[in-house]
């Protein structure tokens, strides 16, 4: 097992190759006459883990642990096998014992710290994960995966100062810079800590009033919270600073539709498409605008182009069905309504 393999964030679910149990693990009586050879068990279990035969390794190690419940290597390998199976709770149980007995100068100790840090992280044990992830960050300061996990932990504990410092190192920024506040705010929004994100963005704009995307994020949040007028004002500020930012025009056009200002919405949505013709969002909103203006030909054109890019978009199919219905094309309308309903039903079933 290489240290490189340990430095990757674990997947939520791991594909496990199942094999027949080793002869010892399969046929050993419940109370063998004598304990198995420790070194042979450890070596064979390590080989099974390396081969991806995790269940076989766990069975073998479980037998061994009944004779020596405090054996560090058995505990370590059991924890490693469970970690590879994405059974993070059992990984923590076994590695927590092993790490206390392992020399801190050894490679195995570092691997145990990583298993504990990432297992706690995957289990949502944020406060427990932080000290281990901090240690990993000191050992591997260039690991973006560890830095990302640590920044999320700091955000979850509302420690915006440490999350900003961690993200700044990850993005090679000065932690006191406007850019660092902006990146931290973006991650706070992603984690749904919007009230903290607003404070970060306000500080970013104090440091640099012409910082791109800060007004955009504030505008998005204002619109989400139904303060559409404030959102429009902030998006207009963003466009004045960052005139080639297609998403700002898209959100501005969308905001006008919330006010039923169909004519005002057309221009920003068209500009968004011209700046980024490969994003389906503004095509769909513009299709809705043309439908409301009774411009059915342009509405159909916009929606068909959107669905070429995003054929599974419920809103696109539902709006196109309305266009056909209004145009008296009943068969086509029914087909689109049926397809939209199937898409919505499949979306509702997703976890």
Instruction: Work out the number of other CB atoms within 10 angstroms of the CB of residue 252.
Output: 26
Q: Which of 40, 63, 51, 47 is nearest to 18 (CA)?
A: 51
Q: What is the pLDDT of residue 18?
A: 27
- Whether 71 maps to a domain, the answer reads yes
8: left (phi over 0), alpha (psi -120 to 50) or beta: beta
DSSP line for 273-331: HHH-TT-HHHHHHHHHHHHHTT-HHHHHHHHHHHHHH-TT-HHHHHHHHHHHHHTT-HH
- pLDDT mean over 112-134: 97
Domain that holds residue 243: 212-277
Is 112 among the domain residues? yes
Q: Say if CB 45 and CB 21 are below 8 A apart.
A: no
pLDDT tier, 40 (very low <50, low <70, confident <90, very high otherwise):
confident
* Cα 2 from Cα 237, distance rounded (Å): 51
Helix, coil or strand: residue 250: helix
Is residue 35 scored above 80 in pLDDT? no
Phi/psi for 329 (5° steps) reads -100, 75
Cβ–Cβ under 8 Å, residues 239 and 248: yes
Q: What is the pLDDT of residue 241?
A: 97
Look at residue 39 in the predicted model and tell me its pLDDT: 76
Residues 287 and 333 in one domain: yes
Contact predicate 158/193, CB 8 Å: yes
Domain boundary among 67, 89, 119: 119
Instruction: Tell me: do 266 and 300 sit in the same domain.
Output: no
Can you tell me the mean pLDDT for 147-165?
97
Residue 145: inside a domain, yes or no?
A: no
Burial of 217 (0-12, 13-18, 19+ CB in 10 A): buried
Number of domains in the chain: 3
The better pLDDT of the pair 191, 67 is held by 191
Please tell me the pTM assigned to this model: 0.81
For residue 107, being part of any structural domain is answered with yes
Q: Is the pLDDT of residue 127 over 80?
A: yes
| Whole-number pLDDT of residue 68 | 85
Give the residue with greater pLDDT, 286 vs 8. Answer: 286
- Asked whether the predicted pLDDT for residue 37 surpasses 70, the reply is no
Whether 159 is covered by a domain: the verdict is no
Predicted local confidence at residue 349, as pLDDT? 61
Looking at the structure, tell me whether residues 292 and 227 fall in a common domain.
Answer: no
| 273 and 350 assigned to the same domain | no
Q: Which one, of 309, 238, 310, lies nearest residue 271 by Cα? A: 238
CA distance 182 to 61: 49
Tokens of 294: 């009774």
Count Cβ atoms below 10 Å from residue 76 Cβ, excluding itself. 25
Please name the residue ranges forming H helices in 171-227: 178-190, 194-207, 214-224
Per-residue tokens: 232: 């429009």
CATH number of the domain to which 246 belongs = 1.25.40.10
262 and 332 share a domain? no
- Greater pLDDT, 306 or 348: 306
Place of tokens 């909103």: 285
pLDDT at res. 10? 40
Question: Mean pLDDT over residues 10-15, rounded?
Answer: 35
Q: What is the pLDDT of residues 200-209, one digit of tens each?
A: 999 999 999 9
pLDDT in tens, 214-273: 999 999 999 999 999 999 999 999 999 999 999 999 999 999 999 999 999 999 999 999
Domain boundary among 244, 277, 310: 277
Query: Stretch 101-115: mean pLDDT, rounded?
Result: 95
Asked if residue 239 and residue 300 are part of one domain, the reply reads no
Check residues 65 and 117 and name the one with the higher pLDDT: 117
Helix (H) or strand (E) run with residue 336 in it: helix 330-349
Res. 7: pLDDT tops 80: no
Please identify, among 252, 277, 302, the residue that sits at the C-terminal boundary of a domain. 277
Looking up tokens 């221009």 gives 267
Q: Residue 185: its pLDDT value, please?
A: 98
Percent of the chain with pLDDT over 70: 88
Q: What is the mean pLDDT of residues 168-185?
A: 97
Shared domain check, 285 and 239:
no
Q: 265 and 347 in one domain?
A: no
User: Is residue 136 one of the residues assigned to a domain?
Assistant: no
pLDDT, position 348: 67
Quick one: pLDDT at residue 21?
25
In a domain, 244, yes or no: yes
* 153 within some domain: no
What are the pLDDT digits (tens) for 289-342? Answer: 999 999 999 999 999 999 999 999 999 999 999 999 999 999 999 999 999 999
21 and 89 inside one domain: yes
Q: Does residue 313 sit in the same domain as residue 263?
A: no
Q: Cβ-count burial of 272 within 10 angstroms (0-12 exposed, 13-18 middle, 19+ buried)?
A: buried
Of residues 295, 292, 300, the one with CA closest to residue 329: 300
Average model confidence (pLDDT) across the chain: 89
Residues 223 and 294 in one domain: no
For residue 9, what pLDDT is reported?
40
Q: Looking at the structure, do residues 272 and 283 belong to the same domain, yes or no?
A: no
């Amino acid at each position: 097992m290489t240290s490189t393999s340990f430095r990757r964030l674990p997947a939520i679910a791991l594909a496990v190759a199942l094999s027949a149990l080793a002869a010892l693990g399969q046929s050993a009586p419940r109370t063998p006459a004598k304990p198995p050879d420790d070194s042979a068990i450890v070596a064979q279990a390590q080989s099974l883990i390396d081969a991806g035969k995790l269940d076989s390794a766990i069975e073998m190690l479980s037998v061994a642990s009944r004779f020596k419940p405090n054996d560090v290597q058995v505990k370590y390998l059991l924890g490693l096998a469970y970690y590879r199976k994405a059974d993070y709770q059992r990984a923590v149980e076994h590695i927590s014992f092993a790490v206390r007995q392992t020399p801190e100068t050894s490679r195995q100790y570092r691997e145990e710290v990583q298993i504990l840090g990432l297992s706690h992280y995957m289990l949502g044990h944020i406060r427990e994960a932080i000290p281990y992830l901090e240690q990993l960050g000191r050992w591997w300061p260039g690991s973006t995966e560890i830095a990302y996990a640590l920044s999320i932990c700091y955000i979850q504990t509302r420690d915006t100062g440490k999350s900003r410092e961690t993200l700044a190192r990850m993005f090679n920024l000065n932690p006191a810079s406007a850019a660092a506040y902006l990146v931290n705010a973006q991650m706070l929004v992603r984690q749904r800590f919007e009230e903290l994100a607003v404070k970060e963005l306000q500080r970013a704009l104090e440091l640099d009033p012409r910082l791109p995307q800060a007004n955009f994020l504030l505008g998005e949040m204002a619109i989400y919270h139904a303060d559409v007028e404030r959102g429009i004002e902030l998006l207009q500020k963003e466009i004045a600073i960052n005139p080639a930012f297609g998403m700002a025009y898209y959100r501005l056009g969308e905001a006008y539709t919330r006010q039923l200002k169909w004519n005002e919405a057309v221009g920003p949505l068209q500009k968004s498409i011209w700046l980024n013709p490969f994003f389906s969002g503004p095509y769909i909103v513009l299709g809705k605008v043309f439908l409301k203006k009774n411009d059915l030909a342009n509405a159909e054109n916009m929606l068909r182009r959107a669905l070429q890019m995003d054929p599974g978009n419920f809103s696109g199919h539902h709006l196109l069905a309305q266009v056909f219905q209004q145009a008296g094309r009943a068969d086509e309308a029914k087909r689109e309504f049926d397809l939209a309903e199937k898409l919505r039903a499949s979306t509702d079933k997703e976890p």
